[in-house]
Amino acid sequence: MPADDRAAATYRALGGMSAAEVPKLLAFDTSTERLALALQAPGGPWCLDAAGGAAASATLLPQSLRLLGEAGLQPADLQFVAFGRGPGAFTGLRTACAVAQGLGYGIGCPLLPIDSLLIVAEDARWQAGAGAADGSAPFDVGVAMDARMDEAYAATYRWQGGTWRVLQAPALLTLPALNAAWVGATLQAVAGTAWPAFGARLPVPGGVPVFGEAQRAAALLRLALQAAADGGGVDAADALPLYLRDKVAFTTLERDAQRAATAAAAS
């Protein structure tokens, strides 16, 4: 979708908010193997979907600064910073949180933690054509992401009246538990990487299957702008990742990456 069309759709989603009223906002998510990065500013929005995974810890901050430079902005110009809080890959969550906290401490702006599974649901909603609907009828989306080890990060959400509501909060489930949780569920769409990963062991519970994300960064930006409009900002100290799988200790590389990301962002 061209930038002007994305902007128009975003403003419609925020109740007709004009371009001048939309805040300067940087949003990023590194919870999956893809890096989603978006910036809302005059002349934008700018959206980038790129390779992530292990490389995200090294590329997130430089890519963010590049995007700000294209918009003619400095980090200090930002009014909000949004980040994907998870659930998702452990190192990816630490990377996004560390960069967000560094920017939050350095700039003093509110941070917006965004449910990473809800990003998948929002992208699926637009792919399924519900983005153009008036939103009066409920549109339920089930999301299941491959969490490895025969488990999935899963949640269900309802879009209605121009806003999202959580029906089943994100959880880490075994495949039998996920199948049981969605028995009898009426869903308009199902989305995520779990079905391609697990195949016949995870039956599709009905609804339009949307297994490939189209514009993750654009979906993230819509959610972030809505969170800003709803007053969802928190202080940097309270901006924490959502872990659903415990990990006892950081590796040396993870500790180094976390310290470097926080220090670089704060400076």
Tell me, what's the pLDDT at 4?
Answer: 40
Domains, the chain, in order of start with CATH, read 3-116+215-266 (3.30.420.40), 117-210 (3.30.420.40)
Tell me, what's the pLDDT at 3?
Answer: 41
Q: How far apart are CA 154 and CA 86, in angstroms?
A: 11
Q: How far apart are CA 99 and CA 118, in angstroms?
A: 21
Provide the token pair at 226.
């809505």
pLDDT tens sequence across 165-193: 999 999 999 999 999 999 888 899 999 99
**204-215 burial code (b ≥16 CB/10 A, e <16):** ebebbebeebeb
Tell me, what's the pLDDT at 139?
Answer: 93
> What's the predicted TM-score (pTM) here?
0.84
pLDDT tens sequence across 95-121: 999 999 999 999 999 999 999 999 999
Tell me, what's the pLDDT at 50?
Answer: 87
| Identity of the residue numbered 168 | Q
Q: How far apart are CA 142 and CA 147, in angstroms?
A: 16
Tell me, what's the pLDDT at 125?
Answer: 94
Burial of 23 (0-12, 13-18, 19+ CB in 10 A): middle
Tell me, what's the pLDDT at 248?
Answer: 39
Tell me, what's the pLDDT at 14?
Answer: 47
Counting as low any pLDDT under 50, the low residues of the chain are 1-16, 248-251, 254
Tell me, what's the pLDDT at 53?
Answer: 73
